[in-house]
Structure 1
């Protein structure tokens, strides 16, 4: 092998290494999701990601970040440390439609006693979405659990919520996608890291 060819191959190897460490783990519907993020001084890894469909329409890409890989709902809900759900919009959605979907997902996957305990935080949650005129294509919403603090929500990197302190409220948010009646049955297994062709990875939304 001549010297030039060795240099070319070395350059290709370096490029591949840089690409592997660039922080991008997946590209879904044209959206690149970071392989790792940092929340509350903790390094989190992408646990799984997928598309939220409404009928035939793609609404957003969602990714779940945890400190360690979890493949079952109880394990995700019980996982210690910081957590993050990242949502990147694939279409424009009004605040009313988006907020209604979130609130419906919470109430459908929480029993009456749980919902009663979360009334104050649910009200604040609704006020957060009421303050956003519209979620536009490309917007990123992050919903973080910060241990010792609570739930924090950012839109395009800007904090849009006060701290919502109850851990059970964050789990109620997670059950929007991971509960027994998830908002999209195709997204649930994707967030748990199942391949698209795995049993249960497809279904009605």
Structure 2
């Protein structure tokens, strides 16, 4: 191979590395460092993997308008936001809904739950409609200030938007609250993972 050809190959290799640096990889899943939601650009705040026992369950990324390394600043974020989940094994809608409900109950007061009860049931009933999410299913919980929380599975919206910023903040507390299934995942979503 001649030197000019070698330099060309090396330069393309370096450009390739540069483009890959625009994403964060978790368990083989790439999360873009920036996305557009509505008219807003969001930044990947952090990403991690949910494990249960020895099993990989899903990879998850949190997108916010600006970086936040504390729970309070993440919850105080204004504008669109996204929770992006990619399954790493088959998960049923019932399993996902039950896990969400369990950690909503662990992280919210009785008064907060009472205010959100109808909206929680709306999300739960929507999730129960899809029987199984095979490995690599992409699940988005998008918050759009004008309409509320939108559930999107593999680029297809399921159910109607659920109104209220308080509802999306409650969902964020499933992963960021005081009582979470995996503390290392909370740290990763807050960008505090080494």
Q: Distance in 2 between matches of 1:154 and 1:95?
A: 13
Aligned equivalent of 1:138, options 136, 143, 147: 136
The reply on whether 1:158 has 2:156 as its aligned counterpart is yes
Q: Distance in 2 between matches of 1:84 and 1:50?
A: 14
How far did residue 195 of structure 1 move?
A: 2.0
How far did residue 69 of structure 1 move?
A: 0.9
The reply on whether 1:26 has 2:24 as its aligned counterpart is yes
How far did residue 9 of structure 1 move?
A: 3.1
TM-score (normalised: structure 2): 0.92
Greater shift after overlay, 96-105 or 12-21? 12-21
How far did residue 136 of structure 1 move?
A: 1.0
How far did residue 43 of structure 1 move?
A: 1.1
What's the counterpart of residue 62 of structure 2? 64
Which structure 2 residues correspond to residues 1-205 of structure 1 after superposition, within 5 A? 5=3, 8-9=6-7, 11-21=9-19, 24-196=22-194
Q: Distance in 2 between matches of 1:78 and 1:91?
A: 32
Deviations 1:21-52 (A, max 9, x none): 45841111111222221111211111100011
Q: CA RMSD in A?
A: 1.7
How far did residue 8 of structure 1 move?
A: 3.7
Q: List gaps (5 residues or longer) in structure 1.
A: 197-205
**Residues 101 and 183, structure 1, Cα contact 8 Å, conserved in 2:** no
Q: 1:23 to 1:65 in 2, by over 3 A?
A: farther
SS at match of 1:92: coil
**Residues 141 and 154, structure 1, Cα contact 8 Å, conserved in 2:** yes
Q: Distance in 1 between matches of 2:122 and 2:109?
A: 19
Deviations 1:117-140 (A, max 9, x none): 001101101111111111110100
Q: List gaps (5 residues or longer) in structure 2.
A: none
